[in-house]
Amino acid sequence: MTSTPITGIHHVTAFAKDVQANHDFYAGLLGLRLIKVTINFDDPSMYHTYFADYSGTPGTVLTFFPIPNAAPGRVGPGQITATAYAVPTGGLTFWQDRLAAEGVSVSEVFERFGDRLIAFPDPDGMVVEIVEPAEPEQRAGWTGGPISPEFTLRGIHAVTYSSLHAEASRRLLVEGLGFEMIAAEGGRERYRAAGGGPDSLVDLLDGSGQREGRMGAGTVHHLAFRVADAAAQGSAMDRLRAAGTLTTEVKNRDYFRSIYFREPGGSVMEIATEGPGFAIDEPLEELGGRLCLPGWLEDRRESVRARLPELRLPSGVVLP
């Protein structure tokens, strides 16, 4: 089978409960840039918020569906159970101190595949990790926020996936998505996308026999991989279907084009194009400054906005 066009992770999307608490944690405490505030294209009654580097580079993006009345989820097999962000060498002490000072329960430094990490929960209990990779991180982070440039989060390094059917997940990662297993340690297998970049790692855990995860606040809804363009996405779709995996049709998400599929271990996954990017409806320097709606909803802006809770932006103003 020909090689896959997947080059790495595009984004991770999770559920939250309170949009302001979620924003204040990721943009305020962790210092990511709020690059887009829009709605869930499949359910306009809720926000869809995006946090990333300055321009929303694929591989740096973490997004949320904040649902005010969401019940807490249960993290477990069939889900992405941790998302790790990379920082430059020497950054972990800074992050331990910053998180602890804000009352976040942060772990001691531990090691995984030669990397040094810390782990902690977000306001809804979702596990976030910060990692000093063994191979020093070279990406630039968002330097316009509250974090000194030498300590900023640089982008997603790896995600941890707990599978209900690990053998089937292994086959799909390799045969359907073109990943290669590069290491194994303590019951954890590490796979790398063919692109081999700093955001190309998936760690697989065998969750068979454990209590299945349940969607809700504090859980990941889906993991998205990236491809260069529509042609590469079509090739990826062909490869998945050849491996016996059904996909959706291509969906227009304005900032990228997406297909979705249910991975055999239980998780929803996505393949998203790198473009057209997040500056199609806001200037790059003003990303995240207003509620952006898809064209088919613009004539309902007032009614859509009225159903959404207030969100105070990093500038201190309420989202217009």
Cα distance between residue 95 and residue 101, in whole Å: 10
Q: What is the CATH number of the domain that holds 23?
A: 3.10.180.10
Say whether pLDDT at 270 is over 90: yes
Q: Is 90 exceeded by the pLDDT of residue 4?
A: no
**Band (127; pLDDT cuts 50, 70, 90):** very high
In a domain, 277, yes or no: yes
What does the pLDDT read at residue 3? 65
Give domain status of residue 172, yes or no.
yes
Q: Give the tens place of pLDDT for each residue, 221-253.
A: 999 999 999 999 999 999 999 999 999 999 999
| 319 lies in some domain | no
Mean pLDDT of the 289-305 span: 96
Q: Are strands 43-52 and 33-40 parallel, antiparallel or unpaired?
A: antiparallel
Spatial CA neighbour of 75 closest among 174, 283, 214: 214
Contact yes or no for 275/58 (Cβ under 8 A): no
Chain center to CA of 266? 17
Q: Is residue 134 a part of any domain in this protein?
A: yes
Per the domain annotation, does 181 fall within a domain? yes
Is the pTM for the entire model greater than 0.85?
Answer: yes
Residue 140 burial (10 A CB sphere; 0-12, 13-18, 19+): middle
Residues 289-315 have a mean pLDDT of 96
Which pLDDT tens digit goes with each residue over 18-55?
Answer: 999 999 999 999 999 999 999 999 999 999 999 999 99
Dist. CA 96–CA 117, nearest whole Å: 10
**Does position 108 have pLDDT exceeding 60, yes or no?**
yes
pLDDT at 178 over 90: yes
Does residue 173 have a pLDDT over 80?
yes
Interacting residues of 316 by C-beta distance below 8 A, sequence separation 6+? none
Range 132-137 average pLDDT: 93
- Residue 72 in this model has a pLDDT that exceeds 60: yes
Residue 72 within any structural domain of the chain? yes
**Beta-ladder partners of 204:** 161, 189
Q: Which domain holds residue 242?
A: 8-306
Q: Above pLDDT 90, what percent of the chain?
A: 95
- Is residue 311, in this structure, part of any structural domain at all? no
Q: Cα dist. 306→16, 46, 68, 300, 303 in Å?
A: 20, 11, 14, 10, 5
Is the confidence at residue 88, as pLDDT, over 60?
yes
Locus of tokens 């790059």: 284
How many CB atoms are closer than 10 A to CB 290? 15
Count of structural domains, the chain? 1
The answer to the question of residue 320 being in a domain is no
Whether the per-residue pLDDT at 70 is higher than 90: the answer is: yes
d(CA 179, CA 39): 32
Is 271's pLDDT higher than 50? yes
Residue 312 has, within 13 A of its CA and on its CB side, a CA count of 7
SS3 for the chain, per residue? Answer: CCCCCCCEEEEEEEEECCHHHHHHHHHHHCCCEEEEEEEECCEEEEEEEEEECCCCCCCCEEEEEECCCCCECECCCCEEEEEEEECCCCCHHHHHHHHHHCCCCCCCCEEECCEEEEEEECCCCCEEEEEECCCCCCCCCCCCCCCCHHHCCCEEEEEEEEECCHHHHHHHHHHHCCCEEEEEECCEEEEECCCCCCCCEEEEEECCCCCCCECCECCEEEEEEEECCHHHHHHHHHHHHHCCCCCCCCEECCCCEEEEEECCCCCEEEEEECCCCCCCCCCHHHCCCCECCCHHHHHHHHHHHHCCCCCECCCCCECC
Please give the distance of CA 171 from its chain centroid, rounded to a whole number: 23
pLDDT of residue 2 exceeding 80, the answer is no
Once rounded to an integer, what is the mean pLDDT over residues 133-154?
Answer: 94
pLDDT tier at 1 (50, 70, 90 boundaries)?
Answer: very low
